[in-house]
Amino acid sequence: MESAIDTHLQCPRTLTRRVPDDYQPPFPMWVARAGTGLQQVAMAYLGVQYGRDEQRPAALAALRHIVGTFEGANGPGHHDLTDHVDNSGHHNLMAVGYWSDPAAFCRWLRSDEVKGWWDSDERLSEGLGYFREVVTPRAEQFETLYAFQDDLPGVGSVMGEISGEISEHGYWGSMRDRIPRSQTDWLQAAGELTVVSGHPAEGGRVVVRGHDNIALIRSGQDWRDAGEEERSLYLDELLPALEEGMDFLRDNGETAGCYSNRFVHSIDLDGNELDESYNIGHWRSLEHLERWAESHPTHLRIFVTFFRVVTGLEKLRLYHEVSVSDGREQIFEYINCHPRTGMLRDARLPAGA
């Protein structure tokens, strides 16, 4: 048994864990490892939004263009594609990229191919919406958790290694205990979401400034290789409670401190759905995420069901990753998106706007 926090990220605790030192988890789980070479990662959610079915071909073409910019030395080490219907009935296609080198991400972002396309006036007249939501947490600001040990999704795909069985899981508060920074920091929110240019209600280009310690969770389910029994377990038992909880956060998240919640399906480049889904949630703080997870009936049902079945899982792959980030390490930019998209809904306008 080993700590979820890698040895080079451990330090004397000034804040205690939620369980005693001799705690033994009820089943095995693992985390991704990367070693001392990984100092920071970039997680980029790059979206194309449309409101009418006849716009889907154009939206898919735009998604393919974004994926095309990933080619070359500065592209992400891993990416995946998703589709979801949001809180206003709009479809959103996303390319989600992970970089283990933030400098390479910056070179990609500033390249003529990427910057020229994003800045072009053509984006304003195509009838599509676009957004990019990016966080670049340092190694001490994120954690992972997997019920499997190979072919890691998400940020684990650019970390390269897997731990042995870890001790910090199976109890409320374990998510926080796996984040190295939590050894000495409460990770409290500081500041507010603020519109720094544009106006969400007017469309066009809008830039939102984030704040320290926004929490981002990606929580996934992959049943592509699952047999009939495990598929039934997910589709008939886990999914209904999951969808209920995700719909609540999508439509009423502001009441719980959730800025944005998207329950997405993985797709291929032609827009065909794969047997994989995940939730993407931006929260005001880790505390707000914890409070909802520990108290909302839908999440409690998911948690209890997972505990009941986890020891029998063979091909159903469940995982999550959670990060916090500094406000200066965040990008929230939108073009012609409806005003409830992402951070736009809760961002405050400047006085007099």
Helix (H) or strand (E) holding 236: none
What does each of the 353 residues of the chain score in pLDDT, given as a tens digit?
A: 899 999 999 999 999 998 998 899 988 999 999 989 999 999 999 999 999 999 999 999 999 999 999 998 899 999 999 999 999 999 999 999 999 999 999 999 999 999 999 999 999 999 999 999 999 999 999 999 999 999 999 999 999 899 999 999 988 899 999 999 999 999 999 999 999 999 999 999 999 999 999 999 999 999 999 888 888 888 888 888 888 889 999 999 999 999 999 999 999 999 999 999 999 999 999 999 999 988 888 778 777 777 776 666 778 899 999 999 999 999 999 999 999 999 999 999 987 66
- pTM beyond 0.75: the answer is yes
Give the separation between CA 290 and CA 147, rounded to whole angstroms: 20
Query: Which of 198, 194, 221 has the alpha carbon at shortest distance from 208?
Result: 194
Based on the number of CB atoms within 10 Å of its own CB, is 167 exposed (0-12), middle (13-18) or buried (19 or more)?
buried
Distances (CA, A) of 259 to 214, 249, 299: 9, 9, 18
pLDDT of residue 26: 87
Give the separation between CA 314 and CA 20, rounded to whole angstroms: 30
pLDDT of residue 353: 64
DSSP 14: S
pLDDT of residue 312: 67
**The token pair that represents 305 in the structure block:** 């069901």
> Where does the chain show beta strands of DSSP type E?
32-33, 42-50, 78-85, 91-99, 129-135, 142-146, 161-162, 194-199, 203-209, 214-222, 258-267, 273-283, 317-325, 330-335
Give the separation between CA 149 and CA 350, rounded to whole angstroms: 47
Give the separation between CA 332 and CA 334, rounded to whole angstroms: 7
Which amino acid would we find at residue 208? V
Q: CB–CB of 320/217 below 8 Å?
A: yes
Which amino acid would we find at residue 172? W
**The token pair that represents 296 in the structure block:** 């909302």
R_g of the chain, CA atoms, integer Å: 20
Q: Parallel, antiparallel, or unpaired: how do β-strands 129-135 and 142-146 relate? A: unpaired
pLDDT of residue 293: 87
pLDDT of residue 73: 87
CA angle 73, 77, 81 (to 5 degrees): 115
Q: CB–CB of 49/91 below 8 Å?
A: yes
pLDDT of residue 107: 97
CB atoms within 10 A of CB 101: 18
84 is catalytic: no
Cross-strand bridge partners of residue 273 = 267
Q: CB–CB of 202/39 below 8 Å?
A: no
pLDDT of residue 160: 86
pLDDT of residue 311: 67
pLDDT of residue 310: 66
pLDDT of residue 303: 77
Cross-strand bridge partners of residue 197 = 207
